[in-house]
Amino acid sequence: MVVSKIIVIGAGATGSFITHDLASRGFDVTVIEKGNIIGGTSGKFHGMLHSGARYAMNDIKAAQESILDNKIISEIAPFCIENTGGLFVALNEEDLSFQSKFEEGCKKSNIPIEKLSIESALKEEPFLNPSLKAAYKVPDKTINSFRFITSLLLTAKRESAKVLLNTEVLGFIKEGNNIKGVKIKNNNTKEVSELKADLVVNASGAWASKLIAEKIGIKSIEMILSAGTMAVINRRFTKHIINRLREPSDGDIVVPFFNDSIIGTTAFIVDDPEKFEVDKEDISFLQKAGSEMIPVLANHPVYRYYAGVRPLIAVGESDDSRKASRDFKIFDHSATDNINGIISIVGGKLSTARIMAKDIGDFIGNKMNNTAESKTDKIKLYWPQINSENIDEMSKSLSLSKDFLSEIINESAGKTYSDMYSNAMDLLYSRRLFE
Ligand SMILES: Cc1cc2nc3c(=O)[nH]c(=O)nc-3n(C[C@H](O)[C@H](O)[C@H](O)COP(=O)(O)OP(=O)(O)OC[C@H]3O[C@@H](n4cnc5c(N)ncnc54)[C@H](O)[C@@H]3O)c2cc1C
């Protein structure tokens, strides 16, 4: 049997999971990432493995997919999850008016929720605002994307995939209407070369539309690049993720991550995922909004902030990115643009990367006569014990520095996110506000 060669562009959560899914179905896969591990949005997000409750009021599909993958990812990759649980809290009459819509949406999406008495909510979370009006428990968790993506790539490598980090796709090899591979540059050595393939999968997140529009004139992907800022306080005050009970809006989540509290987020449209400024007023807005739920947050300085860009699909005329769907879409460019040999996947969330990978894997399987089914709901992701004997080999195999890899693998309790990942802070474009 001839094994089809596939190139995946982008090793964020989406591209890394696709690489694992395709490699486990027997395809010959190479993933190409211009940056390092989590150089894109997957390193600049809120850190939630969503239960789906956040979407239950207005995006049932996203809610149902989230709860499904919440369970599966916790089973296949327990080493990157903290089972914090989540609380949705109502602080005023307006929040309370969302109760029945929230309960109905969670029921429709099969998200198990529990209404707590005010007394037991405050007993579980003593730092919550004592004038709380209602609280619901939901199965939100946190996910460490450094570990998640490293383990996806290590698992894919064991399935014979090739992983090229610090390697940029500069353009495409095009013969008539057919894409035959990509032109790449190794960003370390500056060497430029070509890589041939039967199919190229564009999983480059917020870069997806621009990359193929500029290089091969494909204009069928319309995206909304919705940036969001997060403000970090280096103290943790809750066990649970605290969500405001209302439709998704600015400043409605506080995520306990390691020993930090990450307050998020905002939504503003940008043109370029690498060139945009964070409005400093958003930082104080976030602190104020977070302290409505957890008043003590107002007494601690924000010592770091960062921002990421949601790669959302544009649907209809609205440019309100809060209302844009968290759904994902596969674009077969032979159908939409009459260009063969390339497909794109856009949208979704980190929490649903597995479902996105399965769907595009099924699509590619049909297209390329590979009848293997996705097994990614069962395959436990590989997570090595790193020691002085294998660290050299492991760091070479992923082109990551030994220091960085040790930080990812040997994390320890009681640290803040920034303490843990000092080598990654540049990657996250995070800025220290107070030294
Ligand atoms: C503020 C904010 C908060 C969020 N919070 C959450 C949350 O709590 N939970 C959740 O599930 N989701 C959350 N999301 C959404 C989630 O982070 C994204 O949907 C997800 O990370 C996107 O992953 P991706 O792989 O598609 O994109 P990315 O992670 O951006 O990966 C794309 C990769 O492609 C690479 N690339 C681009 N161009 C090229 C090229 N020419 N050659 C080679 N490589 C290239 C980039 O370097 C990048 O690494 C949040 C998003 C934002 C912005």
- Per-residue model confidence as pLDDT tens digits over 348-357: 999 999 999 9
Q: Which residue has the tokens 């993720």?
A: 241
Ligand 1 and 18: CB distance under 6 A:
no
**Average pLDDT for the chain:** 91
Atom 31, ligand 1: residue with shortest CA distance:
12
261: helix, strand or coil: strand
pLDDT for residue 432: 40
Please state the atom number of ligand 1 nearest to the C-alpha of residue 14.
25
Query: Chain-centre distance of CA 131, in angstroms?
Result: 34
The answer for residues whose C-beta is within 8 angstroms of residue 292's C-beta and 6 or more apart is 91, 129, 244
Amino acid letter at 157?
K
Between CA 96 and CA 245 the distance in angstroms is 8
Give mean pLDDT, residues 45-67: 95
Atom 50, ligand 1: residue with shortest CA distance:
45
Q: How far is the CA of 328 from the centre of ligand 1 (A)?
A: 13
By most ligand atoms within 8 Å of CB, the mutation choice from 36, 38, 41, 278 for ligand 1 is 41
Please state the atom number of ligand 1 nearest to the C-alpha of residue 230.
1
Summarised one tens digit per residue, pLDDT across range 91-113 is 999 999 999 999 999 999 999 99
22-31, 33-42, 423-432 — which is least confidently predicted?
423-432
- Enter the DSSP assignment of 183: E
Torsion of CA 179, 349, 360, 138, to 10 degrees: 180
For residues 19 and 158, the answer to whether their CB atoms sit within 8 Å is no
Confidence of residue 323 (pLDDT cuts 50, 70, 90): low
Q: Is the pLDDT of residue 273 over 60?
A: yes
pLDDT for residue 1: 64
Q: Is the pLDDT of residue 251 over 70?
A: yes
Between CA 75 and CA 395 the distance in angstroms is 26
410: helix, strand or coil: coil
Between CA 176 and CA 271 the distance in angstroms is 31
Please state the atom number of ligand 1 nearest to the C-alpha of residue 309.
53
User: How many CB atoms lie under 10 A from the CB of residue 387?
Assistant: 10
Between CA 164 and CA 188 the distance in angstroms is 11
Give mean pLDDT, residues 271-282: 91
Q: How far is the CA of 130 from the centre of ligand 1 (A)?
A: 36
pLDDT for residue 433: 37
Atom 26, ligand 1: residue with shortest CA distance:
205
Ligand 1 and 86: CB distance under 6 A:
no
The answer for residues whose C-beta is within 8 angstroms of residue 359's C-beta and 6 or more apart is 328, 330
Q: How far is the CA of 96 from the centre of ligand 1 (A)?
A: 33
For residues 1 and 136, the answer to whether their CB atoms sit within 8 Å is no
Confidence of residue 427 (pLDDT cuts 50, 70, 90): very low
Q: Is the pLDDT of residue 281 over 50?
A: yes
Ligand 1 and 45: CB distance under 6 A:
yes
Q: Which residue has the tokens 């190229």?
A: 200
Q: Give me the domains of the chain, ranges plus CATH numbers.
A: 5-42+146-222+325-383 (3.50.50.60), 48-143+223-313 (3.30.9.10)
Nearest to 121 by CA among 162, 90, 156: 90
Atom 48, ligand 1: residue with shortest CA distance:
40
The per-residue DSSP string of 69-99 comes to: HHHHHHHH-GGGEE---EEEEE-SHHHHTTH
Query: Among residues of the chain, what percentage have pLDDT more than 70?
Result: 91
pLDDT for residue 435: 26
Mark residue 26 as left, alpha or beta (left: phi above 0; alpha: psi -120 to 50; beta: remaining). Answer: left
Ligand 1 and 6: CB distance under 6 A:
no
